[in-house]
Amino acid sequence: MEMGCCGCFGFAFARKSKRLLRPSTVSRNHISQLLLNEELEDEDDYSYNSDVTETGNGDEGELQSPAKCSEEILMYRTQNGLICREFPVKETHMVIRSEDENGNKMVNEYVRECKIGSGSYGKVVLYRSSVDGKHYAIKAFHKSHLLKLRVAPSETAMTDVLREVLIMKMLDHPNIVNLIEVIDDPTTDHFYMVSSCSVLEYVEGKWVCEGSGLSGGLGENTARKYLRDIVSGLMYLHAHNIVHGDIKPDNLLVSGTGTVKIGDFSVSQVFEDDNDELRRSPGTPVFTAPECCLGLTYHGKTADTWAVGVTLYCMVLGKYPFLGDTLQDTYDKIVNDPLSLPDDMNPLLKNLLEGLLCKDPRQRLTLKAIAEHAWVIGEEGSIPQYLCWCKRNKLQREGSDRRSMDTLT
């Protein structure tokens, strides 16, 4: 299944480090929870739901910082038509903070309605545009805080956020959160990422696996529907040589129409070719693949696939497959404990989970195999192929070239 064009992304965000790294005792991203039940706070009340620490024992400058070449990459891709979206992300360089006639706080044209969650480093707030009346989810940050939070020897949280912006500027897929606008006023400390959403996209998008009272999970039909969306979006990312790096329920948002959209690219990496080898794993511990727990080099795409398996397990059973009392205990269980599944589970679903949560990455199911699996196909049929913008352009160019050759002939 061709879901995209690998030629869209001609530069790598990450370079291989020179020596082996081991997971640290604290991950970059702990499991986040959308703060829907808390008393609403002002959007300036920034708390961080991540313990930001170095995830390996690397030396300063061991990995090339994506921020060092992000502008060059963006300029190159823009000039060469290598952005996989028809309409570019709007860039606004002025922030006007005001109030409407009802006293509701505003950022430029957007009227604040309520806080709906937490991103990796800041709040997620629901706004309504006073221009088109549509709702938008805005991730709001303080740049000064991002610059103080060190996530690697040569990187701060601002590096993560800028990488996320740069990646999302390249993407356009129905199962990927769509970035509409970036508001960055150089004279202020505020930084905003504006994403399109229906009113219910974030409100209904709360996922909780452990201790949620979600006995028995979501049910097979809902889990299948969600998994198909996840696989479709992730195939698009992988076809463009993007490793998400933190697939988990909290980073999967459900729209008002029931469509799952992959979000939060703050730890994602982009590669110039199919060599997706990595040495540090900044994802969430319970979703970490066994090979990432061993301090060895690993392939990002197969690690993403493992995380899809953990997510499906959560959706179906309402709990994590491997969870210890401590971080090290969790890693030990991921590496050593056999997968436990109910005896009465649907045999096809059981086969799929065993393939996804295979501890040997070489034997683990690929996304293509998942898409063709009998349980995934179900009564819905094959996952629809998505012809992305860059692929359409490529086919149009090839068609034009063929017509030109025919004319010459």
- The reply to whether 343 belongs to the active site is no
333: annotated binding-site residue? no
Residue 219 to residues 96, 203, 312, 316, 343: CA-CA distances in angstroms? 46, 20, 11, 6, 16
CA dist 337 and 339 (Å) reads: 7
Catalytic residue among 160, 184, 229, 246: 246
> What are residue 371's DSSP bridge partners?
none
Pair type for strands 123-129 and 110-118: antiparallel
CA dist 323 and 318 (Å) reads: 13
Structure tokens at 114: 């309520």
Euclidean distance between the first and the last CA atom of the chain, given in angstroms as a whole number: 33
Largest CA distance in the chain: 72
**Buried b or exposed e, range 134-167, using 16+ CB within 10 angstroms:** ebbbbbbbbbebbeebebbebbbbbbbbbbbbbb
Structure tokens at 137: 């989810």
CA dist 172 and 236 (Å) reads: 9
- Shortest CA distance to 32 belongs to which of 214, 207, 266, 289? 207
Binding residues for ATP: 139
Which residues carry a binding-site annotation? 139
Q: Which residues are catalytic?
A: 246
